A and B are shown apart, each in its own frame.
Chain A
Amino acid sequence: MNLFVIPIAIISGVSALLAAALIFAERVISNYGEVMLNINDKEKEFTVRGGASLLETLTDQKIFIPSACGGRGTCGYCKVKVTDGAGPLLPTEEPYMNAEERTAGIRLSCQVKLRNDLKIEIPAELLSIRQYVSTCEKIVDYTYDIKQFRLTIPERQEMKYTPGQYVQVLAPQYEKSAEEVYRAYSISSDPADKKAIELIVRRVPDGICTTYLFDYLKEGQSLNINGPYGHFYLRETTVPIIFIAGGSGIAPIKCILHHMQNMQNPRKAIFFFGVRTTRDLFLVEEMKGFESGLPDFKFIPVLSQPEPDANWRGATGWVTTAAEEYLKNQTEARTYEGYLCGSPGMIESSIKVLTGFGIPDDKIYYDKFS
């Protein structure tokens, strides 16, 4: 009996003692007291407990810096500009910084520890990013692989977004995934609707987040989201607009169109929507609705491979070719602003077409799926 009990007791005792000593040491040694975090030249100021990473501290303060790896220093997304107090660049950060970023004081916020007062600069739009515990109110099937998810924002909260922006959805741990992942989806709903947002999601085979949304999320369940993010929104000019989207890329454009309709925006606009077959086509009625609701808007669905028996009378071929044909007949094609949303291949060939008509690069805005 003693043969087993005593050795095990001793080893466990020593381990427990060492663990206790470490916890105690962490309390005493790693206690950096309170430090001041100064954001954008005192636009926001927090007094926080030192010792944690800048990313963690900012998340605690409800400021969300985009990060895909969860603070392990492997994605290189969580860059912020630290103007004072961070010390020299760490070897763990070096691979993610180019020469320009090094001199500008850009750091990976997951690697910078708060040991003393810190001055940082973050883009104003990141400050308005919030986390929401939304409720999945309704799931609508659009096609065999595209669904719309309506998520209600909790009462007394409001998401202030610019039409065209996206949110990140948190897929929690579930059977098919051992870790939490964030994925980005554009908001597609009418911005006048403050109570909820809608997302249009295409199923990605074996995708962690889309599998969760399609097969596991039920109406009435809650879903963590944060946002809004992104620079894809309608610029305030008066020139004509050409929208080009493929599949679920219609989402941010639908949101922009709602907004234009609410404002009765008189700009000339045309929307080329590319899908493969009639089975993939959705939201046609709503788009026709915009044609009558907006002063000058046309919707052109383009099918790349219509079924022979579908009796499709609309445009066929590549969506970019259809856009090209249209621009050919416009006298002022080069004055258009381009708004593109879809797969990287579609975006790249669209950019080629648009720049071919003399539309400058900085008048072409896009949201690329990756």
Chain B
Amino acid sequence: MDIGSQMLHALIILFAAIFTDNILLARFLGMCSFLSVSRQVKTAVGLGLAVVMVMTFTIALDWLAYRYILQPYAIEYFRFILFIIIIAAFVQFIEMVIERYSPLLYQNLGIFLPLITVNCAVLGASLFMVIRQYNLIEAVAFGFGSGAGWMMAIVAMAGIRERLNNAKIPRGLQGPGITLIIAGIMALAFIGFTGVLSGR
């Protein structure tokens, strides 16, 4: 494959990860923070940006670790442990860097970073990357796309929930109940994109 078509393929993967194969709405990964931190658009944007950043970088690191550490020794089955260690270490590291050099960014993203270590969407993206046998560029595109898709979903959900504050909801459905129903409807809506693009 020449560079041009490779780039095109990466771009397709990126958009597929955002729309047709959204990691949250199609794969239901990263639900816990999706449900708990989607009360306000402002915080949802903060968490979303942090997820995009962490996913993009960790998927590249995980790809390198898989290719150059796990594969040569044929111990791919250790990828779960290794990936999670890398994600945790990276989040710690990035938190330190942001705190040191950009107080403003830390103000907006910093407190969400520890939440991300336990966001299964981040690990999930790295595992999909292995299953689908992406190369490094594709993996980064997929990581960025998955993060962006996750962010889009949580920001949309936060926007809806802000409006729900003014809605009359039966008592039994308030809180997590109505949120899960909305997540389901959003997922149904995203089925509409199915088949438009495929990144596999």
Q: Which residues of A does B touch, CB under 8 Å?
A: 6-7, 10-11, 14-15, 18-19, 21-22, 25-26, 29-30, 32, 87-88, 90-92, 113, 115
In the bound complex, residues from chain A placing their C-beta under 8 Å from that of B93 are 21-22, 25
In the bound complex, residues from chain B placing their C-beta under 8 Å from that of A32 are 100
Smallest CB gap from B103: residue in A: A87
Q: How far is the CA of A15 from the CA of B97 in the complex (A)?
A: 20
Q: Within the complex, which residue of A10, A21, A90 is in contact with B107, where a contact is CB–CB below 8 Å? A: A90
With A87-B107, A88-B107, A90-B107 as known contacts, state yes or no: A10 contacts B75, CB within 8 Å. yes
Q: How far is the CA of A232 from the CA of B81 in the complex (A)?
A: 57
Smallest CB gap from A116: residue in B: B103
In the bound complex, residues from chain A placing their C-beta under 8 Å from that of B103 are 87, 115
In the bound complex, residues from chain B placing their C-beta under 8 Å from that of A92 are 111
| Residues of chain B in range 97-113 having any CB-CB distance to chain A below 8 Å | 97, 99-100, 103, 107, 111
Inter-subunit contact A22/B75 (CB<8 Å):
no
- CB of B32 closer than 8 Å to a CB of A: no
Residue-by-residue, is B59-70 near A (CB-CB < 8 Å gives 1, otherwise 0)? Answer: 000000100010
Q: What is the count of residue pairs linking A and B with beta-carbon distances less than 8 angstroms?
A: 48
Majority SS of interface residues in chain B? helix
- CB of B86 closer than 8 Å to a CB of A: yes
Inter-subunit contact A11/B82 (CB<8 Å):
yes
- CB of B85 closer than 8 Å to a CB of A: yes
Q: Within the complex, which residue of A15, A25, A115 is in contact with B96, where a contact is CB–CB below 8 Å? A: A25
In the complex, how many residues of chain B place their beta carbon closer than 8 angstroms to a beta carbon of chain A? 20
Smallest CB gap from A9: residue in B: B73
* A and B contact pairs by CB, cutoff 8 A, 24 listed: A6-B75, A10-B73, A11-B75, A11-B81, A14-B65, A14-B69, A14-B85, A18-B85, A18-B89, A21-B93, A22-B89, A22-B92, A22-B93, A25-B96, A25-B97, A26-B96, A29-B97, A30-B100, A32-B100, A88-B107, A90-B111, A91-B43, A91-B111, A113-B99
Q: How far is the CA of A115 from the CA of B103 in the complex (A)?
A: 10
Inter-subunit contact A7/B75 (CB<8 Å):
yes
In the bound complex, residues from chain B placing their C-beta under 8 Å from that of A113 are 99
Q: How far is the CA of A26 from the CA of B43 in the complex (A)?
A: 27
Q: How far is the CA of A41 from the CA of B181 in the complex (A)?
A: 56
